[in-house]
């Protein structure tokens, strides 16, 4: 959903912030692998923790039974798109 130019711009910004690094792809010299740096991994972990805490906050009003029902219904819906 992004052009290659837009993706390059985003990767450039992340690289300038030292969150990722580019490495040559050993399997394809035309390609580049993008890897998280230690700082990028730390930031990603913090973002995941915040996301999971927000998910828990959103689901908190539902009982365990209702959460399971919701999970089953969402799974059924997602399977129709695969």
Domain boundaries along the sequence of the chain:
4-79
Q: Is the pTM of this model over 0.75?
A: no
| Residues linked to residue 21 through DSSP beta bridges, in sequence order | 35
What are the helix (H) ranges across the chain? 4-16, 38-59, 64-79
Any idea how long the chain is?
82
Q: What is the average pLDDT value for the chain, to the nearest integer?
A: 96
CATH 2.60.40.10 fits 4-79, yes or no: no
pLDDT of residue 39: 98
């Amino acid at each position: 959903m992004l052009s290659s130019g837009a993706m390059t711009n985003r990767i450039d910004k992340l690289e300038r912030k030292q969150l990722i690094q580019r490495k040559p792809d050993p399997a394809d010299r035309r390609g580049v692998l993008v890897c998280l740096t230690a700082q990028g991994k730390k930031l990603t972990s913090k973002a995941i923790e915040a996301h999971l805490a927000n998910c828990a906050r959103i689901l908190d009003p539902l009982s365990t039974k209702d959460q399971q029902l919701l999970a089953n219904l969402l799974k059924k819906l997602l399977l129709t798109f695969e």
